Chain A
Amino acid sequence: MRPQTPFRFKQFNVAHHQCAHKVGTDGVLLGAWTNASQPKQILDVGCGSGLIALMLAQRFPNAKITGIELDTPSAQQAQDNAQQSPFASQIEIKQGDFLKTAFAEYIDLIVSNPPFYKGNTSSGSTPRDRARHEEFLPAPLFIEKALSLLSPQGQIALILPTTEAKHWIQIAQSNGLYLLRKTSVLGSPSATAKRWLLQMGLQKQALQENALTLRNTQNQRSEAYTELTKEFYV
């Protein structure tokens, strides 16, 4: 017997829609993990369906959050998700290319779960994966654009696959950014790190480094993960 499904889709024809976006739970981690002290302007680059923007709106009630998304259907979806949420007045969604878009105000926090190409061989050839990834949003251009937008206390928070993370740290540091927080994300205590959560800024601070394990040895949700995400009603 099939389990009963609470959310079913009325099965009419739906136009084919190829979503370029990443689908998974990374956004939840980034939205919960990123910290900031009273940011006024937050920018979510490649906001997809708006999950991170909604989480940050809940966490920072005095912040104005702009989500920018290249893919028109995703931007529309983010817009709808924001409008239907209790945080509609805080969130603005723009459709467009981050690299070519002008922003009127300086940004205190830029967050991104950047799109990247992932083939079937996820651990395979790094340079090739990266080259493909960089067709979407090259790290040097992202960092350069971000630097032109950040306020003096501004910070950037990212979630990246392990191989990408090292590359991004290098680019960021060579552009004068300091790495402030680095959390490696492991599925279970015996797994290897699959993602890195990174936070960088223009002001130097001591680097905080730690690890986040999502599940315990019994494959239940870890306490650390539960603690991190417990407040979200998005």
Chain B
Amino acid sequence: MRKEDCFQLGHISRLHGYKGELIAVFDTDQPQRYQNLESVFVDNRGELVPFFIEEIASNSKGHFILKLEEVDPEMANGLIGAELFLPLEFLPKLTGKQFYYHEVIGFNVFDKEHGNIGVCQEIIDSSAQPLFKVFDFNLELLIPAVDDFIESIDREKKEIHLHCPPGLIDLYREEG
């Protein structure tokens, strides 16, 4: 199983107590989906290592307390910051305007006024709001990936339909 075939479920954030238990943070809106998690891949220098989970419980913050099999307190310390992975197939399917960032890479992007404005190259998520990075030949457009701008996502045709505010696309085009 390669990393490309998996999604990142979350990461180990810190120790819980002194008996080798760990606090894990899962990147999900639906933590209850993973309350019966039985095993997980832990990233060890790029290699996904499978671990059985002996105990899992959620805390009041929606984080999880994990006891991984055969992980003693000393080893637990070395796992802080480690990323957790599961096979991609476990990702719940999203519909409508909801999407996973990796899901829309390569989709054609259309604007209501301008038609096809390019291909979605990546989602940049370093700023306050995520951005579609749309590339069209030599022109790169950054468009906020916000609900108000998204009209629809067509997974069959691999298309993102946007309704950008007037002037946004012209701004990039004039610069280019």
Which A residues are within 8 Å of any B CB, using their own CB? 2-3, 5-14, 16-19, 22-28, 48-51, 54, 73, 76-78, 80-81, 118, 120, 122, 187-188, 190-191, 194, 214-215, 219-221, 225, 229, 232-234
Q: Is B1 an interface residue (CB 8 A)?
A: yes
Say how far A53's CB is from chain B's closest CB, in angstroms. 9
Residues of B within 8 A of A19 (CB): 33, 92
Which B residues are within 8 Å of any A CB, using their own CB? 1-2, 4-5, 7-8, 11, 27-30, 32-34, 36-41, 44, 47-55, 57, 69-71, 75, 81, 83, 86-94, 97-102, 123, 125, 130, 145, 147
Say how far A128's CB is from chain B's closest CB, in angstroms. 17
Contact B69 A234 (CB under 8 A): no
A155 to B126, CA, bound (A): 51
Contact B33 A17 (CB under 8 A): yes
Say how far A19's CB is from chain B's closest CB, in angstroms. 5
Residues of A within 8 A of B28 (CB): 9
Point out which of B1, B5, B39, B101 has the most chain A C-beta atoms below 10 A from its C-beta.
Answer: B1
Contact B89 A187 (CB under 8 A): no
Residues of A within 8 A of B100 (CB): 7-10
Contact A221 B70 (CB under 8 A): no
Q: Chain B's interface: helix, strand, loop or mixed, by majority?
A: mixed
The 8 residue pairs across chains A and B that have the minimum distance between CB atoms: A24-B38, A24-B39, A49-B89, A51-B89, A7-B7, A25-B39, A187-B69, A221-B49
A14 to B49, CA, bound (A): 30
A131 to B92, CA, bound (A): 29
Contact A220 B47 (CB under 8 A): yes
Say how far A41's CB is from chain B's closest CB, in angstroms. 22
A76 to B86, CA, bound (A): 19
Q: Which residue of B lies closest to A47 (CB)?
A: B89
A90 to B40, CA, bound (A): 28
Beyond A3-B11, A13-B29, A51-B89, whether A234 also contacts B49 by CB under 8 A is: no
A70 to B88, CA, bound (A): 21
Beyond A24-B38, A50-B89, whether A5 also contacts B8 by CB under 8 A is: yes
Beyond A187-B52, A191-B70, A221-B48, whether A7 also contacts B38 by CB under 8 A is: no
New contact pairs (9) apart from A16-B32, A54-B89, CB-CB < 8 Å = A5-B83, A18-B32, A24-B37, A24-B40, A24-B53, A24-B86, A51-B90, A120-B55, A221-B49
A24 to B48, CA, bound (A): 13
